[in-house]
A and B are shown apart, each in its own frame.
Chain A
Amino acid sequence: DQQVKQNSPSLSVQEGRISILNCDYTNSMFDYFLWYKKYPAEGPTFLISISSIKDKNEDGRFTVFLNKSAKHLSLHIVPSQPGDSAVYFCAASAWGAGSYQLTFGKGTKLSVIP
């Protein structure tokens, strides 16, 4: 069973507009969530994270929102730039339970159109 789900395989957004990437999880033990960005032939690059004690974390153009009751998180990119075109992975760990491994979704390919 997939514990972290990214239901949109792809997303296209116009340059300058907002990109919203979504992620759902099923394991209630998850308490630390991360977003990674991946270009072809490179490893995932850490973007932003959020602990379950927060519902929002912001870093420049990137904001992550966490809705624990819905077991849902989202990544907002504003404004979107062509260089943001990549595959975005949502990941989670059960840090408080001593499980430090990351469980990943299958990724969403974002295309930002100039």
Chain B
Amino acid sequence: GAGVSQSPRYKVAKRGQDVALRCDPISGHVSLFWYQQALGQGPEFLTYFQNEAQLDKSGLPSDRFFAERPEGSVSTLKIQRTQQEDSAVYLCASSLGAVTGNQPQHFGDGTRLSIL
């Protein structure tokens, strides 16, 4: 597709369950980012990949959060032993890459995660 695709759009899980969120970036985009957006707030950075390399994971809130991009394209954000405070919209963004200079990030529509 032409844009960033995220699935599922909505996910409901019980506290303590593991969840996996998928992101399909724009074809050819080197850089991929994950953000978390709480209600009424701006998106907050979680982690950054350049191709398959995770170059920055400073925003991951705990070791229950794990992200991967094994082939440098599709990425998965995994949350283990979910807690109620994990409820948020998780946004994925991609961009052409740093080597081409300043490039805007393009966002998917997000996955709305609700933990009961």
Residues of A within 8 A of B (CB): 4, 32, 34, 36, 41-46, 49, 51, 89, 91, 95, 98-107
Apart from A49-B104, A95-B98, A95-B102, what are 7 other A-B pairs with CB-CB below 8 Å?
A46-B107, A49-B102, A100-B31, A101-B48, A102-B33, A102-B45, A103-B45
> At the interface with chain A, which of B11-19, B35-43, B67-75, B77-85?
B35-43
Is the Cβ of B41 less than 8 Å from the Cβ of A106? Answer: yes
Task: Give the interface SS of chain A, mostly helix, strand, loop or mixed.
Answer: strand
Sample 5 A-B pairs with CB under 8 A, ordered by A number.
A46-B105, A49-B104, A100-B95, A101-B45, A102-B35
A5 to B93, CA, bound (A): 22
Given A100-B31, A101-B45: A46 in contact with B59 (beta carbons within 8 A): no
Residues of chain A lying within 8 A (CB to CB) of residue B33:
100-102
Residues of chain B lying within 8 A (CB to CB) of residue A107:
42
Is the Cβ of A44 less than 8 Å from the Cβ of B43? Answer: yes
Residues of chain A lying within 8 A (CB to CB) of residue B98:
95, 98, 100
A81 to B4, CA, bound (A): 27
B10 to chain A: closest residue by CB: A41
A89 to chain B: closest residue by CB: B42
Is the Cβ of A104 less than 8 Å from the Cβ of B48? Answer: no
Is the Cβ of A101 less than 8 Å from the Cβ of B42? Answer: no
Pick the most buried of A44, A91, A95, A105: most chain B CB atoms within 10 A of its CB: A44
Is the Cβ of A43 less than 8 Å from the Cβ of B109? Answer: yes
Is the CB of B21 closer than 8 A to any CB of chain A? no
Residues of chain A lying within 8 A (CB to CB) of residue B108:
43
Which B40-92 residues have C-beta < 8 A from chain A?
Answer: 40-45, 48, 56, 59, 91
Is the CB of B25 closer than 8 A to any CB of chain A? no
Given A43-B110, A89-B42: A51 in contact with B91 (beta carbons within 8 A): no
Is the CB of B22 closer than 8 A to any CB of chain A? no
